[in-house]
Amino acid sequence: MSAEPQTMNAAVYYGSGDIRFERMPVPAPAAGELLLEVGTVGVCGSDVGEWTHGPHQHPFVTPHVATGHIGPIIPGHEFSGTVVGVGEGVDESWLSKRVASVGSVACGTCDACRRGQSNQCRLYAGVGLHRHGALADYVATPAANCLPIDDLGISLDEAALCQPMSIAVHNVSRAGDVAGQTVLVQGVGGIGAFLVYALVEAGARVVATDMDADRLEIATELGADRTVLVTRSTDDRQAILDALGSDELRVVFEVSGSRAGVIAALDLAPRGCRVVLVGIQKQPVEVDLAAITLEEKVLIGTNALVREIDFPRAVELIAKRRGRWSMIAPRVVPISGLVEEALRPMSLGRSKAIKTLIDPRGDTVRPLRSENA
C-alpha cells in the first residue's frame, strides 16, 4: 500500500437507529484482497432494515462464523472504488484500476461452492454485513469480488449499481429460461426495476405492476412491454389480466415482499406457472399447497447472488446502458446525509429515488455522474 492515511472517516452502526460518524483505522488488505479508495456506495433495503429494527444480520451477540466480527460495524455492500493497495498474493497490476465490487464472500471449498452456488456457502459472509464495509473512505475486499471498469465507459457512480443488478440477474436465473415468455413483475422498486431490465435483456416480455406511477414510467423506459398501476383494490386482478391479454403467463416475480403480493401472485399464476419469491416476507403467509400440487405450480425462492456467474453479467448490463442510469439514481448524497437523506426516508417509504447513492468524500448532494457527462 502507498502512503495512505492511517485513519479515515466512516459511518459506524451501533444498533437500531444508531449510526455514528467516527474516525476509524484504514483497513489493511489481507492475502488475496484489495484496498479500495471508495468511490460510491449504494444504500440497500437490508441496510435500512438493520438501521430500523436491527441488528439482525450484523453480528452483535456472537462473533460471525466466517469473519469473527462482533459489535459495531461499518455498513455498505454495494460499492465501487479505485485500487490503492494490494494484499499478499495479489498482482500489483490492480493498482490504480477503478473497479465495481460485490460484497459476497464465500469459502470456495464447501459443497455449495463446488456445485456453483456460492450464495449458499456454509461460511458465507458479506462485506458491509459481517465485516467492515464501504461507507467509509476506504474498504478492504477480496480481489475476486472486483471487476475493472476502466474499459467499459461507466463511472464509479454507475459501477455502484452492479451489486443490485447482480441480484436481479440471479432472480432471472432462478426462474430458468425466460426467452420469448411473458412474465409478470410485481413491484418495480429497488430490485424490481433492475429485474425488469435484466428480464428484457434475457428475451422476456415483461408486464410490470406497482402502486407508484413514476416507477412504472421507469419500468417502461427499461423495456417493460406493459404496466399496470395497482391500488390494492378488487379491480387490480382484472386490470392485470387485461394487460396480459391473450399472452400465456409463464413466470410471476413477486418483489413487493407483501402478503397481498404473494396472494395475488399465486392467484394470477395459471397451471404450471413458476412463482419466484424475491421480496422477503416479514410474517408467515398461508399457502394452499393442495392447489400448488394439483395445478403443478412451482414456488421458487431466491436470495443474494452467485458472484462468479451473476456479477460479471450484471457489469455487462450496467455498461450496456451506460450514461442512462440517472432515472434509477438521479442524485448522490454525501455520507453526512446517510440517515436523513437515505435511511430515514427509505424506512418511511418516502425515498426520492429508486436507488440512493452515497459519496463518502462528498459534501453536497450532486447529480449522478457518467463517463459521458
Report the percent of the chain where pLDDT is more than 70: 99
> Containing H/E element for 359?
strand 357-359
Contact 195, 172 (CB under 8 A): yes
More confident residue, 2 or 312: 312
Q: Which contacts of 233-238 are long-range, i.e. CB under 8 A and separated by 24 or more positions?
A: 236/209, 236/264, 237/264, 237/267, 237/268
Q: Has residue 207 got a pLDDT over 90?
A: yes
Q: Has residue 372 got a pLDDT over 60?
A: no
Q: How far is it, in rounded angstroms, from Cα 190 to Cα 101?
A: 18
Q: How high is the pLDDT of residue 352? A: 85
Dihedral Cα 57, 59, 62, 65, nearest 10 deg: 80
Chain mean position to CA 135 = 16
Give the mean pLDDT of 140-165.
97
In this prediction the pTM is 0.95
**DSSP assignment letter at 338:** I
Q: Has residue 17 got a pLDDT over 60?
A: yes
Kindly report the number of other CB atoms within 10 A of residue 369's CB atom.
17
Categorize the per-residue pLDDT at 282 as very low, low, confident or very high, splitting at 50, 70 and 90: confident
Could you identify the residue written with the cell 402478503? Answer: 259
**DSSP assignment letter at 361:** T
Give the mean pLDDT of 267-290.
95
3-class SS of residue 228: strand
Categorize the per-residue pLDDT at 205 as very low, low, confident or very high, splitting at 50, 70 and 90: very high
Q: Has residue 216 got a pLDDT over 90?
A: yes
Report the percent of the chain where pLDDT is more than 90: 95
Q: Has residue 373 got a pLDDT over 60?
A: no
Q: How high is the pLDDT of residue 20? A: 98
Strand residue runs (E) in 90-191: 98-102, 104-105, 125-126, 138-142, 146-148, 182-186
Q: Which three cell numbers stand for residue 147?
A: 471487476
State pLDDT tens for residues 113-150.
999 999 999 999 999 999 999 999 999 999 999 999 99
Q: Has residue 369 got a pLDDT over 70?
A: yes
Give the mean pLDDT of 15-44.
97
Q: How far is it, in rounded angstroms, from Cα 352 to Cα 327?
A: 11
State pLDDT tens for residues 321-332.
999 999 999 999
In order of their start, the domains of the chain are 7-161+325-367 (3.90.180.10), 170-301 (3.40.50.720)
Q: How high is the pLDDT of residue 3? A: 63
Judge residue 15's burial from the number of C-beta atoms within 10 Å of its C-beta, 0-12 exposed, 13-18 middle, 19 or more buried.
Answer: middle
What does the mean pLDDT of the chain come to? 96
State pLDDT tens for residues 74-123.
999 999 999 999 999 999 999 999 999 999 999 999 999 999 999 999 99
State pLDDT tens for residues 172-182.
999 999 999 99
Categorize the per-residue pLDDT at 232 as very low, low, confident or very high, splitting at 50, 70 and 90: confident
Dihedral Cα 59, 64, 68, 70, nearest 10 deg: 10
Q: How far is it, in rounded angstroms, from Cα 8 to Cα 25?
A: 6
Maximal C-alpha separation, the chain: 66
Q: Which three cell numbers stand for residue 126?
A: 458479506
